[in-house]
Amino acid sequence: MSRALVVGNWKMNLDHVEAVHLTQQLGVILASRPAPHVDVVVAPPFVDLRSVGSVLEADRSAIELAAQHANPLPSGAHTGEVSVPMLARLRVRWVIVGHSERRALYAMSDDVVAATARAVVAGGLRAIVCVGEDEAVREAGRHREHVRAQVLAALEGLSAPEGDVVVAYEPVWAIGTGRSAGVEEVREMAHVIAEALATTRVTGARVLYGGSVNADNAADLLGGGVDGFLVGGASLRAESFGAIVSAGESCYAGGR
Ligand code: PGA
């Protein structure tokens, strides 16, 4: 791909006032350090989407809005859930699908991940499908087949416009631990994912890495052949997120 993708997953952090503040700071940083070769996306909590969207619109910002989750159904008796059409009305362009925290803490099965990815694409939005093994699976040496199976299950029966599906490789043991995967580990898993993708009907999918990405390791990790990052903790500060975007720009500006 000729463009990097850097997504900030704010998780359950920042109320709408704090979210507006961070969005404005990010706008200032990206204006002073333009990154024309990087698609920049932020994924605030649902309750912040409208406020953050208004700031981005007023600033004519190139930053795009993502939701952290969606229910696969369009409406109905699902207390606490939010649907894809509701997100689309808020000009949300992307949805994170099957983050490991949703899989582990909210029992999101492979089937629900697949149904959600289909609903996102059918609703005209873009899906960031998350896959990744936990520590026990890696120690057992089963990470390659585990991740391959997750990719195939999530994309089962899915066809999407070119580039509307992104796969984020996020090893659970690297998320929020300060212990990012090594470049060679990232390279190996990016390859496994690319091979799995080649057997699906999804085309042009960018592959991201996520798990303790920060301003210091971002440039190195891009050497693992991924197209960008899904960033948690380091996306909560404009300066560190801006530095990760800049690492993407340096890597892609010369044409990757
Ligand atoms: P982290 O989270 O960057 O804080 O490790 C990444 C993620 O969960 O998407």
pLDDT in the model for residue 177: 97
pLDDT in the model for residue 254: 81
pLDDT surpasses 80 at 185: yes
pLDDT surpasses 70 at 104: yes
pLDDT in the model for residue 61: 96
**What is the CA(9)–ligand 1 centre distance, in A?**
7
Mean pLDDT of 90-112: 97
pLDDT surpasses 80 at 103: yes
209's enclosing H/E stretch is strand 206-210
Residue found by looking up tokens 């704010």 in the block: 10
pLDDT in the model for residue 2: 82
Please say if 156 is a catalytic residue.
no
Give, for ligand 1, the residue of 230, 235, 240, 241 to mutate: max count of ligand atoms closer than 8 Å to Cβ: 230
For the chain, what is the mean pLDDT?
A: 97
**What is the CA(178)–ligand 1 centre distance, in A?**
9
**What is the CA(77)–ligand 1 centre distance, in A?**
31
247, 222 in Cβ contact below 8 A? yes
pLDDT surpasses 70 at 1: no
pLDDT in the model for residue 255: 76
pLDDT in the model for residue 13: 98
Mean pLDDT of 16-43: 97
130, 96 in Cβ contact below 8 A? yes
Mean pLDDT of 92-104: 98
Q: What does the block give as tokens for 99?
A: 């983050």
How many residues belong to the chain? 256
pLDDT digits (tens, 9 = 90+) for 206-254: 999 999 999 999 999 999 999 999 999 999 999 999 999 999 999 999 8
Q: What residues line ligand 1, using a CB cutoff of 6 Å?
A: 9, 170, 175-176, 210-213, 230-234
Single out the catalytic residue among 64, 99, 101, 185.
99
The answer, as to whether pTM is greater than 0.85, is yes
Counting from 1 in the atom list of ligand 1, the atom nearest the Cα of 168 is 9
Counting from 1 in the atom list of ligand 1, the atom nearest the Cα of 231 is 3
Q: What does the buried/exposed string (b/e) look like for 185-213 if buried means 16 or more CB atoms within 10 Å of the residue's CB?
A: bbbbbbebbeebbeebebeebbbbbbbbb
Single out the catalytic residue among 170, 185, 188, 249.
170
Counting from 1 in the atom list of ligand 1, the atom nearest the Cα of 230 is 9
Burial class (CB in 10 A: 0-12, 13-18, 19+), 228: buried
Counting from 1 in the atom list of ligand 1, the atom nearest the Cα of 213 is 3
**What is the CA(97)–ligand 1 centre distance, in A?**
14
pLDDT digits (tens, 9 = 90+) for 141-167: 999 999 999 999 999 999 999 999 999
**What is the CA(174)–ligand 1 centre distance, in A?**
8
Selecting from 3.30.110.40, 3.20.20.70, 1.10.390.10, 3.30.70.360, what CATH number does the domain 4-253 have? 3.20.20.70
Mean pLDDT of 30-43: 97
Q: What does the buried/exposed string (b/e) look like for 4-36 if buried means 16 or more CB atoms within 10 Å of the residue's CB?
A: bbbbbbbbebbeeeebbebbbebbebbeeeebe
Please say if 99 is a catalytic residue.
yes
The structural domains of the chain, with segments of one domain joined by +, span 4-253
Mean pLDDT of 179-183: 97
